[in-house]
Amino acid sequence: MSDRIKLNKPFNIFLLTMILGFAAHGFRLTNKFFCEDSFNYLYTISASWTISIGRFLLPIVEKVRGPEEATWVIGVLSLIWISFTAIVVIRLFNIKSNLYVILVSAILVCNPVVAGTFSYMYTADGYFFGLLLAVLSVYLAVKAEKFRWIIAASVLLGLSMAFYQSYVSVAILLLEIWLMLMLNDREKSLKEFWKKTGSFALMGVMAAAVYYPFMKLVMKITDHEVSGYMGLDGAQSFSFGRVADVFINSYVEFARYYLVHYKADFYNVSNVLMFIMTAVLLAVLMFGRREGKKTGAGEIAVRLGLEALLLLFIPVATHIFFVLSPDVKYLSAPMLYSMGIFYIFPVILMQILYGSAGDIGSWKDKSSIIKMIPQGAMLVFMFAICFHFVVITDQAYESMYRANKNMENQLNRIQVRLEMTEGYREDMDLAVIGCTYQLPDYLESAPRLSGVVSNLFMTGSSEYVNGLNWFLSTDYGGTSFEERREIVHSEEFAEMNMWPQEGCTRVIGDIMVLYLDDRDIEQYYE
């Protein structure tokens, strides 16, 4: 197998990742599902909103591939960017053996965070392009021998943040893994380690220097202000007094991703075993027979100490936004990609320890097969994890399918009641008061994928109007908050009943009113 096919060639990696991507996400690419955000961006990814949250290059995506949520086009573009990302990651860590190449590709394209990001399909291609830029920045920073490449890496990371800031955590995690591998390589001196660490830190500072001024410039030109969403307006408020809180929150959320509901199911058990396997592989790499120049006991202690610090920092690295702002309490699905690709760490360690033994063709006789039993068991285990990624993804998409069906059924019922209302016209403005929002119905044995598995998730008047217009081809106009407030204070509204009772719909003035629920109705009386 290894003599005939070399999967670590760029084209082969690209093709392999695309095939795995279609296998895992084909159902999503061929169906149109919506999360709550989709109803705000049915025909646009909203330049106003994306600029105000610092993703000021996202509107360019709309200009390139059109303003509609063309699921197939966006999905294929997303898989293309992930496939290029796989090429960069495999070349970055010099993954040569075919089985390891397959594993890394599968982890990058099949991990549950990709399914979570595909819940925001209307802008997923822009997000994953930002991922590619972040990983490219890491590759340049690692391979850089001259300062100009650090500058180029900084520009790429800054551009990545302009598409989605979350992939900074991916860059940090990959750089951490690279630094840990340096510490375990006796041919790499501590001086080289500190030099690389300094260049990585400099890249981060310069990336911020690229991103922040351009973000402020775009906001000034387009007359936007930074939003408070996810703590963006408090991003400079870090204080040493809350270091303990940052670490605690990071570790808690890190555990919650890998241990869902703390059940003894495959996902949780396999993750525990994956961390144990990673620890064992690291220990073997640290304390096993080492080739190369001899290292004194003092230097070994320093290396082990630095390695331990890097390991302890991983939960914080994957939740770096907890550090940047005290207002960030959770991470949405696309922000968790660094958690999803942590699984490549044991694969990289196996590659270092076993080398070309990752190819079946190297298992030529009984003795070599016996020697490879531990590695074979680990390979089977990691492939089982990747297969379960696909199972989780399929469960998530099935859940989203049911959620969308629930929503369509409710919209159909609403439309029938509207048509039965005296004075109904197809082109009326529609005011929806209240909502029937339900809490997300998360999968019991998977990471909490926001958006993908939510239930009835229309939480405002505009979402209901957009949903009716999209699914049922109606042509309702929306209403402003002030118009709805005036309606709520009217005598006609006081006589209305809530959904689904008779009298839950009524024409007031020239506006069709649907009294759906009393949720949040207090806001109209303030």
Chunked mean pLDDT (size 10), the chain, 526 residues: 74 97 95 78 67 87 83 95 98 93 96 90 92 97 89 96 92 96 87 93 93 90 76 56 80 90 88 95 78 70 91 92 73 86 95 70 57 84 96 88 85 94 92 81 69 64 86 90 94 93 93 91 85
Q: Say yes or no: 373 and 450 in one domain.
A: no
Say if 1 falls within a structural domain.
no
The predicted structure's pLDDT at residue 2: 47
The predicted structure's pLDDT at residue 449: 65
Beta-bridge partner residues of 432: 514
The predicted structure's pLDDT at residue 1: 45
Tens of pLDDT, residue by residue over 371-421, are: 678 888 999 999 999 999 999 999 888 888 888 888 888 899 999 999 999
Query: Which residues does 251 contact at the CB level (< 8 Å), separation at least 6?
Result: 315
The predicted structure's pLDDT at residue 245: 80
Query: CA Rg, the chain, in Å?
Result: 26
Q: Say yes or no: 423 and 329 in one domain.
A: no
Q: Say yes or no: 475 and 367 in one domain.
A: no
What CA–CA distances, in Å, run from 219 to 55, 156, 307?
11, 20, 41
Instruction: Count other Cβ atoms within 10 Å, centred on residue 114.
Output: 26
Say if 133 falls within a structural domain.
yes
Q: Say yes or no: 198 and 222 in one domain.
A: yes
Q: Say yes or no: 221 and 177 in one domain.
A: yes
Rounded Cα gap, residues 356 and 100, in angstroms: 10
Q: Say yes or no: 323 and 432 in one domain.
A: no
Beta-bridge partner residues of 487: none
The SS3 call for residue 341 is helix
The predicted structure's pLDDT at residue 371: 64
Say if 465 falls within a structural domain.
yes
Rounded Cα gap, residues 78 and 128, in angstroms: 6
**What is the separation, in whole angstroms, between the first and last Cα of the chain?**
71
Query: Which residues does 486 contact at the CB level (< 8 Å), separation at least 6?
Result: none
Q: Say yes or no: 369 and 405 in one domain.
A: no
Predicted TM-score of the model (pTM)? 0.90
Q: Say yes or no: 176 and 122 in one domain.
A: yes
**Helices 297-318, 168-183: inter-axial angle, 10-degree rounding:** 170
The predicted structure's pLDDT at residue 167: 94
Q: Which long-range contacts (CB under 8 A, 24 or more apart) does 234-239 make?
A: 234/325, 234/326, 234/327, 235/324, 235/325, 237/325, 237/326, 238/323, 238/324, 238/325, 238/326
Say if 2 falls within a structural domain.
no
The predicted structure's pLDDT at residue 335: 84
Give residue 54's region: left, alpha or beta (phi > 0; psi -120 to 50): left
Indicate the number of domains in the chain: 2
The SS3 call for residue 110 is helix
Last residue of a domain, one of 398, 431, 449: 398
Say if 4 falls within a structural domain.
no
The residue whose two tokens read 């190449």 is 101
Last residue of a domain, one of 375, 398, 421: 398
Q: Say yes or no: 224 and 162 in one domain.
A: yes
Positive or negative, the CA dihedral 459, 464, 470, 475 is negative
Q: Say yes or no: 362 and 436 in one domain.
A: no
The amino acid present at 346, given as its one-letter code, is: P
Element counts in the chain: helices (H) and strands (E): 22, 3
Positive or negative, the CA dihedral 369, 375, 381, 383 is negative
The predicted structure's pLDDT at residue 6: 85
* Phi–psi pair at 511, nearest 5 degrees: -120, 130
Rounded Cα gap, residues 248 and 233, in angstroms: 23
Last residue of a domain, one of 368, 398, 428: 398
Rounded Cα gap, residues 282 and 349, in angstroms: 7
Q: Say yes or no: 453 and 484 in one domain.
A: yes
Say if 245 falls within a structural domain.
yes
Q: Say yes or no: 243 and 319 in one domain.
A: yes
Say if 3 falls within a structural domain.
no
What CA–CA distances, in Å, run from 316 to 197, 254, 324, 378, 379?
17, 8, 11, 27, 28
State the residue range of the domain holding 450: 401-524
Say if 416 falls within a structural domain.
yes
Beta-bridge partner residues of 152: none
Do the beta carbons of residue 21 and residue 83 sit within 8 Å?
yes
